[in-house]
Amino acid sequence: MKMLTMQVTAVIGLLFAGAASAADIRMPVKAPPPAPPPPAYNWTGCYVGGGGGYGMFDQNVHPVVTGREETPGFLSNDNGGRGWFGTVQVGCDYQAATPFPLPVVFGVFADYDFTSIKGDMSILGLGLGGQEKMRNAWSVGGRIGWLPFERLLAYVSGGYTQARFNEANLFLFEEPNLPLGLSVAKQQFNGWFVGGGYEYGLGWLPGVFWKTEYRFADYGHENVAIIDTATGVPTGLSIDSHKFVQTVRSELVWRFNFGGGPVVARY
């Protein structure tokens, strides 16, 4: 009897062991949770920047009798200047949630250029010449861009701009070393600009970007008086000047909150 009991106990134990093994085989293995995707960077926020570049201005000059729109018999001619400039900028961007393949960024900005762009002015219609310098300029505008990569923004820009040009002392072409006592008055020009460029995150310091932009500005026509240098009194002659300015600028930009979290799309 004792032998029979031991055999029955052994059989029951084997049955339970087999059932447990079968249960282990049938139960699926729970996979670990998937790793979260890397965060999408958000360009929404404000920034400051500073840098410099190279620029050139060109103009069409036509002498006129002050108060008249044009004076027959005076020749028109083109001239301009070249040089370097420094710039500072502030702005803010907004990264919009859109159904397009590439995220879209809208922005507004303002910048100020302190320049050393100068060249020889010639007024062929009067036989006069001098040196003209663009002193400074400022601009306000907006931009719209696309993000081919989360750290690269390609954009176009446009807006309003104003530039100031220094007084230009004049001389006769025949006697360039003889002081004439006449000058073209300093003048402020107003106009518009369009441009395009890119901004790229350098990566070695959070929030630091490198931006490069080409810009074209049209300052329209301004009537600028020719004055007596000693007294500042107009001589009765002036020039009609239509100025165009082109610049290529590069800046280091610090974005206050770049990398501030994922962009949440809402449609």
Per CATH, the number for 42-255 is 2.40.160
Query: What are the C-alpha distances in Å from 42 to residues 54, 129, 197, 259?
Result: 32, 54, 19, 6
Q: pLDDT of 169-197, one tens digit each?
A: 999 988 877 778 999 999 999 999 999 99
Q: What is the pTM of this model?
A: 0.78
Could you tell me which residues come within 8 angstroms of residue 5 by beta carbon, excluding any fewer than 6 positions away?
none
Tell me if residue 126 falls in helix, strand or coil.
coil
The DSSP secondary-structure symbol of 249 reads E
Name which of 167, 163, 169 is nearest 188 in CA terms. 163
Would you list the domain boundaries of the chain?
A: 42-255
Q: pLDDT of 97-118, one tens digit each?
A: 766 677 899 999 999 999 999 9
Which residues in 7-30 are b (16+ Cβ under 10 Å) and which e?
A: eeeeeeeeeeeeeeeeeeeeeeee
Positions of the chain with pLDDT under 50: 1-4, 8, 10-12, 14-16, 19-20, 22-25, 27, 36, 38-39, 260-267
